[in-house]
Amino acid sequence: MNAPLVATALAPAKLNTTLRVLGRRADGFHELDTSMVCIGPCDVVEARLRPAPPRPAHDLVVRLALEGSAATDDVRAAPQNLAERAARAYVEALERRTGLCVDFALELDLVKNVPSRAGLGGASSDAAAALLVVRDLVLVHSGQVLAWADCLDELAELGSDTVFFAAARFTGRGRATGRGERVEVLSRTGVERERGRFALVVPDVGCSTPSVYAAFALGSGPAAVGALAASSFANDLVDAARAVEPVLDEWFEALGPRFDLSGSGSALFARATDADDAAELVDQARRAAERLGRTPRWCGVTTECGHGVRLVRAPRRSSGGRP
């Protein structure tokens, strides 16, 4: 049997530097206006394509292996990982459009470094990275490929943030509207000579995105929305996240006014003015954790990585591969 084709991509985390919730839509989602930047840490997605007897795309064999410091129980317990769903969605879409012969199986190795349930977009980034590597592997194997715009449509069906990580793959910046699936790709301006630097703290609790939005909806009348938009936070979900995980109140009080929430939480971050400021903010966060008697899942300085999902090893034949 031929050696498998192998490709690898990076899947960065993200921060919502602003997040405004403009109201609830008829489909149950919320209308958003959010600015995002990609940051480290990054997950790593390696995919292998092995020849296999032909079968319909819906019967595609995808084997998933998880490892890494953030491969926690909640990630492992998910009935189907979003990266696996993205791989399947791509192959099924390509079969529908081109009649692709699915004479292969896929293996995905996912190294999780981005904490889950933190508002950092780890699962969405993994999905975009998985689609990127599978797209390239199938192209080399079969000569067939799905147009990039169609890839973004497939990602939009999987989740809101997935489109951002793929659309902003060359800049790592964007503004998302709708439920998050409409992305305007942004670049650094001429006056921004350095990439943004942040202090990032991921508390020892996680936030369920559906629960946070449900909590927001309970108080989402026009007056409440206006009050949140006028608050000192750039994220309208702060109060809802605090309601879902009250321990965030302690973190906000201990960290001080420069820290804000990313996404639906629980990650907290502060933009630093320079390297010294970033180091002081992280020291401040570590002292706060000690006072609270808590151990954050992640605490350190991070910077914009300047890219969304990125191919770091193009498809090639593996010399060995896993048995």
Q: Which amino acid is at 278?
A: A
DSSP β-ladder status, 5-24 and 260-261? unpaired
Q: Where are the domains of the chain?
A: 5-187, 197-303
> How confident is the model at residue 232, as a pLDDT?
60
Residue 122 in marked binding region: yes
Q: Residues 75-84: what's their mean pLDDT?
A: 87
Q: Which CATH number is associated with domain 197-303? A: 3.30.70.890
Residue 323 in marked binding region: no
| Residue entry with tokens 């998933």 | 64
Q: Which residues are known to be catalytic? A: 14, 161
Q: How far apart are CA 37 and CA 24, in angstroms?
A: 25
pLDDT, tens only, 127-159: 999 999 999 999 999 999 999 999 999 999 999
> How confident is the model at residue 227, as a pLDDT?
41
Pick from 165, 141, 142: nearest CA to 155: 165
Question: DSSP letter at 52?
Answer: -
Residue 47 contacts residue 107 (beta carbons within 8 Å): yes
Residue 125 in marked binding region: yes
Residue 117 in marked binding region: yes
> How confident is the model at residue 222, as a pLDDT?
35
Q: Which amino acid is at 301?
A: V
Q: How far apart are CA 74 and CA 18, in angstroms?
A: 27
Residue 10, beta-bridge partner list: 44, 310
> How confident is the model at residue 320, as a pLDDT?
54
Residue 115 in marked binding region: yes
Residue 56 in marked binding region: no
The confidence band for 192, taking pLDDT boundaries of 50, 70 and 90, is low
> How confident is the model at residue 323, as a pLDDT?
37
Q: How far apart are CA 124 and CA 55, in angstroms?
A: 28
> How confident is the model at residue 156, as a pLDDT?
96
Residue 37 contacts residue 196 (beta carbons within 8 Å): yes
The confidence band for 190, taking pLDDT boundaries of 50, 70 and 90, is low
What pTM does this model have? 0.92
Residue 156 in marked binding region: no
Tally the C-alpha atoms within 13 A of residue 186's C-alpha that lie toward its C-beta.
16
Pick from 104, 123, 97: nearest CA to 112: 123
Residue 266 in marked binding region: no
pLDDT, tens only, 86-121: 999 999 999 999 999 999 999 999 999 999 999 999
Pick from 90, 180, 82: nearest CA to 141: 90
Length of the chain, in residues: 323
> How confident is the model at residue 25, as a pLDDT?
86
Using the CB atoms, write b or e for 223-255: b if 16+ within 10 Å: ebbeebeeeebbbbbbbbbbbbbeebebbbebb
Please identify, in words, the CATH class of the domain defined by 5-187: alpha beta
> How confident is the model at residue 296, as a pLDDT?
98
